[in-house]
Structure 1
Amino acid sequence: MNAGYGGFAAAIILAKPSVPWWVLNVILIDGPDRLAVIFDRGLIGVYHDWCTALDAYPRTFDMIHASRLFSAEHKCQIIDILLEMDRLLRPGGFALIRDGKEILQQIKIIADLFHWKMTLDNTESGPMGYDKVLYCQKTFWRPKVGTHA
């Protein structure tokens, strides 16, 4: 989500030991057009507006990485994007969300309603830096069914 130049996917490809992951780079429709750079790097990607559903089956992804997606300009609310992330993630899947601390605090409130496990951590900019990372894991939570007499 908001793939930039595909650096996350490139890092996965170059990881030692190698990881057998398939990465889909998603470029915001309203953002800078960087899809050609992603293709030139031998990666795959698509344009998408996160205010609409991604054309993928529910529970398709094991991990979603969102880099400054929520602070980027778009027409939809944070909850709309998080609902789509929840739809796309498999139970037990992870969402890594990198953004400003104020935005991540808003995300934590909503993600808590989804019963995601969360940890907020610093980035390479340190504890005083703007960017933070919110590590989230989608749980196997289901509503409890009441017993009827």
Structure 2
Amino acid sequence: MNVILVDTPNTLSIIYEYGLFDMYQNWCKSFCTYPRSYNFFHADYLFSRLKKMCNFQVVVAEIDQILRPKNMLIVRDTAEVINELESMVKYMNRKICMTYTKENEGFLGVRKST
């Protein structure tokens, strides 16, 4: 499923062509997924956008709740946000699989423990 932030450009026509599910979501509000959970979550500059709108620590907790055990969160964002996320997920006792920062862009891979 593809979740698009409410205030981003409309890319749903591309998603429909591939036959994928999609929806708009304001991540500052709760994201109801019951009874589903997910294996993989990819965030492309999501947290830097959310930092302007709301407290993204709550969003990190929500994403952690959505992910199944032993599955992945992949984040691509600014180096500042990556460093902040890295300290958060270490505090949550999650395994960091990869961190890479070049200039002002970074990648973070997090594996959820059981």
TM bucket, shorter chain = 0.7 to 0.9
| Alignment partner, residue 128 of structure 1 | 102
Show the 5 A alignment for 1:27-38: 27-38=4-15
Cα displacement string for residues 51-70 of structure 1 (whole angstroms, at most 9, x for unaligned residues)? 12222127711111111101
Structure 2, gaps ≥5 residues long? none
Counting matched residue pairs gives 113
* Higher RCO (CA 8 Å, separation ≥ 6 residues): 2
Kindly indicate whether the alpha-carbon contact (under 8 Å) linking 1:120 and 1:132 is maintained by their aligned counterparts in 2: no
**1:137 aligned onto 2:114:** no
Task: Report if aligned partners of 1:93, 1:138 keep a CA contact under 8 Å in 2.
Answer: yes
Task: Point out the structure with the larger helix share.
Answer: 2
More strand by share: 2
Counting aligned pairs with the same residue, the percent is 29
Q: CA deviation at 1:37?
A: 2.5
Distance 1:60 1:66, change over 3 A: same
The question of whether the paired residues in 2 share the 8 Å contact of 1:59 and 1:87 is answered with no
1:53 matched to 2:30: yes
1:118/1:59 CA distance change after superposition, 3 Å: farther
2:41 to 36, 39, 64: 64
Provide the residue aligned with 2:85 in structure 1. Answer: 107
Which runs of 5 or more structure 1 residues have no equivalent in the other structure? 1-23, 141-149
1:42 is paired with a residue whose SS is coil
TM-score normalized by structure 2? 0.86
Return 84-93 or 73-82, whichever deviates more. Answer: 73-82
Contact 2:12 2:22 in 1 (8 A): yes
- What is the deviation of 1:109? 1.5
Show the counterpart of 1:26. 3
The SS at the match of 1:115 is coil
Using the TM superposition, give the Cα deviation of residue 41 of structure 1 relative to its aligned residue in structure 2, in angstroms.
3.5
